[in-house]
Amino acid sequence: MSEPNSAETRSEQTPAANGLLDHMYVFFDDVRHRYGFYALVLIVLVVMPLLTGQYITAIMTNALLYVVLCLGLNIVVGYAGLLDLGYAAFFAVGAYTVGILTQEFGMNFWLTIPCAVVTASIAGVVIGGPTLRLRSDYLAIVTLGFGEIVRFSARNLEITGGASGLAAIPSPSLFGWHIDSTLDFYYIFVLLAVVACIASHRLHNSRLGRAWLYVRHDEDAAEVMGINRVRVKLAAYVIGSIFGAMGGAFFAVNLGAISPESFSFEQSVLVLLAVVLGGMGRIPGVILGAFIVVLMPEFLRELGSLRLLIFAVLLLLIMLFRPTGIWPDRRS
Amino acid sequence: MSWLEVFFTQLSNGLVLGSFYALVALGYTMIFGVIKLLNFAHGDVYMIGAFCGFGALSLVSGILGDTWLGLFVAMLMSMVAVGFLGVIIQKIAYQPMLAAPRLSILITALAVSLVLQNSALALTSGEYTAFQTGLGYGGVDFGAVFIAYQSMVLVGTAAFLMIALEFFVKRTMYGRAMRAVSVDKDMCRLMGINVSRVIAITFLIGSGLAAAAGTMAGIYYGSIWYFMGFLVGLKAFTAAVIGGIGSITGAMLGGLILGMLEAFGTQIPFIGSEWKDVFSFSILILMLVFKPTGLLGKSEVERI
C-alpha cells in the first residue's frame, strides 16, 4: 500500500540543497543551543506586547491560536500521515461546546474544557472509527464532508444560534484574575501554545509517537510487528481533534462571539497549508508555518480575494518542488 | 398534492440529480481505477466545465441562436476544453507525484482543487453567474404531473454519454487498455501498452464527462458559481462509493441511487430539504461502515 523506498529517496535528494538547514540542524543538536533558543523565543513572546500596540498583540494572539491548531493537525498529518481536510470541525466543536455550556447553561469556563475534550473525542471516534479501517484516502474525503456538515448543522440548529451564531460568551476568570483584555488573552494563548508544544514533543518521542512513525512509513510492516494500526491511527486522530477543540474553546472566550463562518473549509485549508509549508512532523517547522500563514496576509492586504489563490498556488508549488516543507523532520 | 404527483415529481428530480452525480462519479471511479488516486479536484473540474459551457454558449448563441443545438455545441466545446484541462492537470501535478508517498499526492490533489476554485473566485469575484438558455420552461403535462422538456433532454443526454462510455470501455482498444491498466500497470507496460497515454485518455474522458455534467447543471439550475463543485464532488464520491469505487457500472448505479435517495429524502418528515446534504453524507458514512466495497465493487486485496 505505501511505498517504503520513496520516502528515503526523497530525503536523499534534499541535503545538498539545504546547506543552511544542515547548519541549523548541527546548531540545534547541541542541547544548550536548543534550550537557549527556546528561552530566547519565550522571552521575546513575553516582552513583545509590552513594547508594541494592541493591534500587533491581537495578531500575535491569532498566530498563537494557529500554532495550537497546527500542532494538533500535525499529529494527524505529520506524525500519523493521515490527511484531515475538515480540521475546522473540531475547532468548531470545541468553540460551540464552550459557547453553549457557558452561555446557555451558565457553566464555569474551566469546567467546560473537559466537556469540549469529550465532545471532540466523540466526534473524532465517530468520523475516524469507520474510515480509518479503509485506505487513508477515504479519511481525507470523509473529513472534508464532515467539516461542511458541522458548519451546516451549526447554521441550522437552534441551540447553536443559527447563522448569526452565539454572542456574549462570558470571559473567564482564574483565581480572581478576570481574563478579559487583549493582553490577558495573549498571555493565555502563549501558555496554551507552550503546553501544546511540550505535549507534541512528548508525544513525538513516546511509544505511540514511534508507532505513528512506523505506520506512516509502512503500515503492513507495522502491523506485522504487532502494532494495531487502526487503534494507533485513531489515537492520532482523536488527540489531534482534542488539540483543535482546545484551540476552539479559547478562541470562543477570546472573541466572545462565534458564528458558523469562523469554521469554514478555508480555515481547515489554512491550517493544513501552515503544516505542509513549515514541514510536516517537525514542531519548529509547524510553528514557523503557522506564523507565516497568519502574518503573510497582513502584508498582502490589498490583494483581497487573490490571497487564497496565492496560497493555493503556493501549496501546489511546495508539493511539487519541496514536499518536505521549509524546515522538515529529519526522521522522515 | 396527492402522493402520486409527489412520487412522479420526485422521480424526475431524482433522475436529473442522479444523472449529474453519475457523470461526475464516473470520472472519480475511472481515475481511481488507473492511478489509484481520489481526485479531489474532480468537483472543481465539473465547476470549470459549467463556466466553460457558459462561455461557449455565449459564443455559439450568436450563430445558432437559442436552440437546443446551440446548447449541445456549447456542451461539446466545454467537454473538449475541460477534457484537455484534465490532461494538463494530470501531466503537471499528478504525473511527478505517482512515486511519492500517498499523503503527498493527496495534498497535491487538494492544491489543484484550491487553485481551480480560487481562480474561478478571482474571475467572478464570488458572484453567482446567471446561466440563461433562452429556451423557456416548456414541458409535458401528464395530467397532474408536469415534466419539463429540459429534464428529459438532460437525462437523455446523460444516458447517451453513459452508453457511449460503456461502449468505449468494453469494445474499443483503449477501453480494453484502460481496464488492463487498472488491474496491473507494470504488466501492461511489459505487454506494450502505452500506459501514460491510457492514463491521459482516462483523464480526458473523466474530465469531459464532468464538464458535460457541469454544463447541464448550469442549464438546469440557471446559475453557476465558483463553489458549486464542492458539494457535487463530495456527493459524486458518495455515489462512487455506493456503486463500488473502481466500477464503472457501479458509478452510474450509485449516482442514480443517490439522486433518488436525495429527491425522496426531502419528503421524509424531519429531514426535509434543509438537511439534504447531511442526509447524503450520513449515507456515505453508513456505506463505509457496512459495505465499503460498494454494491458492485470487488474487495481490494492488498499485495505486499
Section A2-20 average pLDDT = 48
Taking residue A45's Cβ as centre, other Cβ atoms within 10 Å add up to: 17
The parts of chain B modelled with pLDDT lower than 70 are 1, 136-137, 269-274, 298-304
Strand duo B139-142 + B145-148: pairing: antiparallel
Q: How far is B303 from chain A (nearest CA, A)?
A: 8
Residue A60 half-sphere exposure toward CB, CA atoms < 13 A: 22
Q: Which residues of B touch A145 (CB under 8 A)?
A: 234, 281, 284
What span, in angstroms and rounded, lies between the C-alpha atoms of A73 and A239?
9
pLDDT confidence of residue B303: 45
Task: Please give the residue that has the higher pLDDT: either A175 or A72.
Answer: A72
Q: Which of A185, A197, A99, A82 is nearest to A143 (CA)?
A: A82
pLDDT confidence of residue A10: 44
Interface A:B, Cβ pairs < 8 A: 123
Identify the residue among A151, A218, A316 best suited for mutation to test binding to B, counting B beta carbons within 10 A and taking the highest: A316
pLDDT at A142 over 80: yes
pLDDT confidence of residue A16: 45
pLDDT confidence of residue A242: 92
Query: How many residues would you count in chain A?
Result: 332
Section A313-325 average pLDDT = 82
Instruction: List chain B domain ranges.
Output: 3-130+145-229
Query: Can you tell me which residue has the cell 457496512?
Result: B290
For the entire predicted model, the pTM comes to: 0.84
CB contact under 8 A, B93 and A130: no
- Please report, rounded to a whole number, the percentage of residues in chain B having pLDDT higher than 90: 35
- Please report, rounded to a whole number, the percentage of residues in chain A having pLDDT higher than 70: 91
Least confident of A7-11, A144-148, B112-116, B122-126: A7-11
Section A129-153 average pLDDT = 81
Task: Please give the residue that has the higher pLDDT: either A238 or A167.
Answer: A238
pLDDT confidence of residue B270: 64
Question: CB contact, 8 Å: B127 with chain A?
Answer: no
Strand-pair partners of B141: B146
The model's pLDDT over A73-124, given as tens digits with 9 standing for 90+, comes to: 999 988 888 888 888 999 999 999 988 888 878 778 888 889 999 999 999 9
The SS3 of residue A322 is coil
pLDDT confidence of residue B145: 75
Section A291-306 average pLDDT = 78
Residue B227 half-sphere exposure toward CB, CA atoms < 13 A: 8
pLDDT confidence of residue A72: 92
Least confident of A13-22, A84-93, A176-185, A267-276: A13-22
pLDDT confidence of residue A11: 44
Instruction: List chain A domain ranges.
Output: 61-271
Section A4-8 average pLDDT = 44
pLDDT confidence of residue A245: 92
Q: Which three cell numbers stand for residue A6?
A: 520513496
pLDDT confidence of residue A331: 53
Question: CB contact, 8 Å: A316 with chain B?
Answer: yes
Question: CB contact, 8 Å: B202 with chain A?
Answer: no
pLDDT at A14 over 60: no
